[in-house]
Structure 1
Amino acid sequence: MPCDPLDLSRLQPVLPSPLQPVEDERFDRHGIRLLLKRDDLIHPDLPGNKWRKLALNLAAATGRTVLTFGGAYSNHLCATAAAGRLLGFPTVGVVRGDELAGRPLNPSLAQCAKDGMRLHFVDRATYRAKTDPTVLEGLLSAYGACCVIPEGGSNALAAQGCTALGRELHGLADVVAVACGTGGTLAGLAAGLAPGQRALGIPVLRGGFLEDAVRRLQREAFGGSTGVWSLDERFTFGGYARTTAELHAFADDFEDRHGLPVERLYVAKLLYGLTVLAREGAFAPGTRLVAVVTGQPWGASESSR
């Protein structure tokens, strides 16, 4: 018997998200107008691109158990677990690193567990093979018929959901920049922008795989490559979940200048990269440059839980 579809509207997302101009001499001196697309304010538990990527996936799940994947500090796992709690469906999180099993949970995974997510730890070799039919069959045999959402939530439905981000910026931006993990947000953003606008992705992981990932997602979601987009892979700061003292100092300074809490693993790398690109002359004078704020620092919205 089919399940009733989820009513996502009852979560009351703030859409379109606010567009906040900021005055920053590092951009102003080059004639660049910097604006922040505050996707972090869409929903306290499903902020930013997590809402945009999950909305269509959760609607398609129709209340079934959702099984998905992530690392030990995955914002995607946290958002999926929170959605399960808020909308009343079971969730399973397949976590990279069997050495974590039996240890005290870090704050991210502890919140997932608090929100009702069943955590399933696998070794790193198994995690790399997570799309292999045999691995998936083993997971489904353990947890039953589940709706499987990939790592980071990035699939065709996620890319389609992220087109709304581009559409919300029609006539308001020349370049729209976003930090990238798995490529779904950039794929949809670029597709949703109007002619004459372009999207810029700042990867937070090393490896050089994102260009192929974005092209694949656009083929699956839209039938082929669409929109104007590019990547600049110089600002990973060592890779996913890695930071440096220089990055933290930059984020602290940005917070002091603008009163905006800066999430370190994605947003700080994006903003740092944009300041370097502005200094290098990558944007013409008069450019309206939008930076998408995809999340808040851990605990910033904790009081809303």
Structure 2
Amino acid sequence: MDFKVENSINQVVKVPSECGVELFIKREDEIHSFVSGNKYRKLKFNLLEAKISGHDTLLTFGGAYSNHIAAVAYAGKMYGFKTIGVIRGEELKSKIEENETLSFAKSNGMKFEFVTREVYREKGSQTLIDHLKAFFGKFYLIPEGGTNELAVKGCEEILTEEDKSFDVVCCPVGTGGTISGLINGSGNTQQILGFPALKGDFLRTEITKFVSKTNWDLISDYHFGGYAKMNRDLIAFINTFKADNKIPLDPVYTGKMMFGVLDLIKTGFFKKGTRILAIHTGGLQGIQGMNSILKKKNIPIIS
């Protein structure tokens, strides 16, 4: 069982010539229309395991604009699984049709369980999992964001042999699964840099659960206030980047990473001659929902 996907390409990104570095972006966002980027990578082996272990239902967790929720719903429908999404925020129960992500997931057959933020914080507890099993019956559990050992295994396939020619590989970091796979799949001389979309340094502990190599670091200066937080500078950057490079970026993950990478290039962080590969992890389906929020705040939208 496998998705029919396009092979991702490495696309040149414009950088000032005086910086003396080369920058490419791996277009993982283009490998599938609805299960793109790291969501495809994380789900691949989890769906195989769910099928092998005799499950017919997938259950996972996510927020109002979760790329993961949308991807699980579509992939579940594609491969004959029933899907359940445990959604953060009881108030969203009456707003499904107003929310592009949730309405998409619903149209692909996902059933929802809306919970309070207090309950959602217990998503990793066995007590909550047992409660959900008592209510829904048997299911295959996929964690929030999709990160587990099988997800990391899938993300190890992102880098090809040709990609080993790059000195530095950069990626956005949410739950730590993608960067863990990149670290495990990296060449001995490569450095892996992660750009967290969340505040706090707890991700180091999560990543070390999946990796043994030490050729990585986190750059924690470009989260723009935390998960799903953004400002006019970030939006302007995303729009300018798209106009200059013909590459759309999402504001939650890849947009922040590329802002950080280009800022570091301009300030001389990378020595001259460095070849950099940035990983586009997808997430573009969430832009429409984010734009609806920006409009309400009278802030320029993402083009």
Aligned-residue Cα RMSD (Å) equals: 1.7
Give the one of 147, 155, 165 matched to 1:154.
147
Shift, 1:299, TM fit: 7.5
| Inter-partner Cα distance in structure 2 for 1:64 and 1:200 | 37
Please tell me whether residue 250 in structure 1 is matched to residue 241 in structure 2: no
Give the one of 108, 117, 135 matched to 2:110.
117
TM-score (norm 2): 0.89
Please tell me whether residue 228 in structure 1 is matched to residue 221 in structure 2: no
Shift, 1:173, TM fit: 0.9
Please tell me whether residue 60 in structure 1 is matched to residue 49 in structure 2: yes
SS of residue in 2 equivalent to 1:166:
coil
| Inter-partner Cα distance in structure 2 for 1:232 and 1:196 | 19
- Indicate conservation of the 8 Å contact 1:166/1:191, yes or no: no
| Inter-partner Cα distance in structure 2 for 1:22 and 1:277 | 14
> 2:171 corresponds to which letter in structure 1?
V
Partner of 2:296: none
Partner of 1:215: 208
- Indicate conservation of the 8 Å contact 2:15/2:262, yes or no: no
Q: Deviations over 1:220-241 (max 9, x none)?
A: xxxxx22511101111111111
Give the one of 15, 18, 23 matched to 1:24.
15
Give the one of 168, 171, 177 matched to 2:170.
177
- Mean CA deviation greater in 227-236 or 99-108: 99-108
Partner of 1:262: 249
Please tell me whether residue 80 in structure 1 is matched to residue 72 in structure 2: yes
| Inter-partner Cα distance in structure 2 for 1:265 and 1:299 | 9
Runs of 4+ in 1 over 6 A off after TM superposition: none
- Indicate conservation of the 8 Å contact 1:19/1:38, yes or no: yes
Partner of 1:42: 31
Identity %: 39
Shift, 1:167, TM fit: 3.9
> 1:32 corresponds to which letter in structure 2?
V
Shift, 1:170, TM fit: 3.9
Give the one of 1, 5, 13 matched to 2:5.
13
- Indicate conservation of the 8 Å contact 2:35/2:71, yes or no: yes
Shift, 1:168, TM fit: 4.6
SS of residue in 2 equivalent to 1:171:
helix
| Inter-partner Cα distance in structure 2 for 1:22 and 1:95 | 36
Q: Deviations over 1:74-119 (max 9, x none)?
A: 1011100010121121111111112222234411111111111111
| Inter-partner Cα distance in structure 1 for 2:164 and 2:65 | 36
> 1:235 corresponds to which letter in structure 2?
Y
> 1:85 corresponds to which letter in structure 2?
K
Describe the shift of the 1:101–1:216 C-alpha distance in structure 2 as closer, same or farther (beyond 3 A). Answer: same
- Indicate conservation of the 8 Å contact 1:191/1:227, yes or no: no
| Inter-partner Cα distance in structure 1 for 2:129 and 2:250 | 32
Q: Tell me the number of residue pairs that the alignment of Structure 1 and Structure 2 aligns.
A: 284
Structure 1 unmatched ranges of 5 or more: 1-6, 219-224
Please tell me whether residue 97 in structure 1 is matched to residue 84 in structure 2: no
Partner of 1:222: none
Q: Deviations over 1:20-65 (max 9, x none)?
A: 123322xx32111010101011111110101111101111010520
